[in-house]
Amino acid sequence: MQQAFTELIQQHRGIIFKVIRLYVNHPEDEKDLYQEILYQAWKSYPRFDGRSKFSTWLYRVSLNTVLTFKRRPAVIDRVDDLEKVGGTTEQHEHHEDTAMLYRAIRDLNEIDRMLITLHLDGYDNEEIAGIAGITKNHVAVKLHRIKEALIKKLKNM
């Protein structure tokens, strides 16, 4: 059972990283969450009955773990941390711009958030299409619309 679980995790670990990137933007939280997701998946694996694909099940476990983690009061909002950091006005403005962008992205629906995050992480449209299960052209259209929506939202902030 352990070997099968390990092989499945290795095949689908990109899902874990993707979910973490969509909801957390601090390296320490990302490391903690990765370990917590592995633990929760291992704990739940005996109940995985194969009615859905393993990747779908893992996505669900990952998402539930991340959302539970985000609700914990001990988690510090890293955006607030950025505002407390001293430094030059230019650094503060850069942090403020970044914080505004993250707030705007977090307001997007799940699919759009995933697409723009993958794009900002440097994935090309073909790679994003493979991850999202849509065509490369659909990715291009969606990204164009998402960027327009973000620009509009940022102008109103």
**Residue-by-residue DSSP string for 102-135:** HHHHHTS-HHHHHHHHHHHTT--HHHHHHHHTS-
For residue 52, the one-letter residue type is S
For residue 32, what are the domain limits? 2-71
Q: Which residue has the higher pLDDT, 103 or 139?
A: 139
Question: Where among 45, 71, 97 does a domain terminate?
Answer: 71
User: Taking residues 24-39, what's their average pLDDT?
Assistant: 88
- Tokens describing residue 31: 């490391």
Q: How far apart are CA 10 and CA 74, in angstroms?
A: 30
Question: Where among 22, 50, 71 does a domain terminate?
Answer: 71
Does 86 have pLDDT greater than 90?
Answer: no
pLDDT for the residue numbered 77: 45
Cα-Cα-Cα-Cα dihedral of 104, 146, 109, 63, to 10°? -90
**Which residue's structure tokens are 């958030």?**
113
**How long a stretch of residues is the chain?**
157
